[in-house]
């Protein structure tokens, strides 16, 4: 049995263990207290089967402080979306800057208005660019195969880079891509190994 602390904790609470971020999560499907690394958010999640055992989850995380430090220190540095930074879209680097009007690509710059939603507007622009680029590429490949172009949409799945639905007598074919593919290398068909190696970095952008 893990040592209990006097403090009361709630689902979603965040704390530091050895200077590293840990988030508490209640998961009714969990059979035991455990730790896992959330690579997209660069933090460790302490899982508890019930709210009553959150104190035990905290104590367990404290006992595993060395493991937590080792895991988080090994993660790639998260890209910060901020004016003055650089964001690569379709393998082209753009300087991030503040400017009036709607977020837009202006030469080698991405410009968005200076307000509390600056980063969100840059991400929305990246998603629009992803839809345009991936729609064009899909049309090219469909034409090469002599097939009708499927409808194209973008999403933000965590476990895959896209999904598709074949055409039927009632519905047309459809394909959904992760918008984060626009952040990947410029190859029209990025290698799976490259995506696996850089998945945490790509999912961390705008998370």
Report residue 203's pLDDT band, with 50, 70 and 90 as the boundaries. low
Positions of E strands within the chain: 14-17, 20-26, 34-38, 43-48, 86-89, 92-98, 104-106, 109-112, 151-155, 162-165, 174-178
Q: Judging by DSSP bridges, how do beta strands 43-48 and 86-89 pair with one another?
A: unpaired
Structurally, the chain folds into a number of domains equal to 2
Asked if 69 and 123 sit in the same domain, the reply is no
Asked if 62 and 139 sit in the same domain, the reply is no
Neighbours of 107 (CB within 10 A): 8
What pLDDT, in 10s, does the model give residues 21-57?
999 999 999 999 999 998 878 899 999 999 999 999 9
Q: What is the pLDDT of residue 187?
A: 56
- Please name which of 122, 182, 172 lies closest in space to residue 147, comparing C-alpha atoms: 172
Asked if 200 and 124 sit in the same domain, the reply is yes
Q: Is residue 2 part of a domain?
A: no
Range of the domain at 128: 119-204
What predicted TM-score, i.e. pTM, was given to this entire model? 0.60
The two three-digit tokens of residue 174, written as one number: 């459809």
């Amino acid at each position: 049995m893990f040592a209990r602390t006097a403090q009361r904790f709630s689902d979603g609470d965040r704390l530091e263990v050895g200077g590293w971020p840990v988030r508490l999560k209640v998961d009714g499907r969990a059979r035991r207290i455990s730790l896992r690394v959330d690579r997209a958010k660069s933090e460790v999640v302490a899982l508890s089967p019930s709210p009553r055992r959150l104190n035990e989850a905290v104590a367990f995380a404290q006992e595993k402080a060395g493991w937590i430090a080792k895991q988080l220190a090994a993660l790639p540095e998260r890209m910060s979306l901020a004016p003055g930074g650089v964001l690569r879209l379709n393998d082209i680097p753009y300087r991030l800057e503040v400017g009036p009007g709607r977020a837009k690509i202006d030469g080698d710059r991405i410009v968005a208005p200076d307000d509390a939603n600056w980063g969100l507007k840059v991400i929305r622009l990246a998603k629009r660019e992803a839809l345009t680029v991936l729609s064009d590429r899909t049309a090219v490949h469909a034409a090469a195969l002599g097939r009708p172009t499927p409808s194209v949409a973008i999403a933000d799945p965590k476990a895959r880079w896209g999904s598709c639905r074949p055409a039927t007598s009632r519905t047309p074919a459809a394909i959904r891509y992760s918008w984060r593919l626009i952040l990947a290398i410029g190859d029209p068909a990025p290698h799976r190994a490259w995506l696996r190696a850089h998945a945490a970095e790509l999912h961390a952008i705008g998370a």
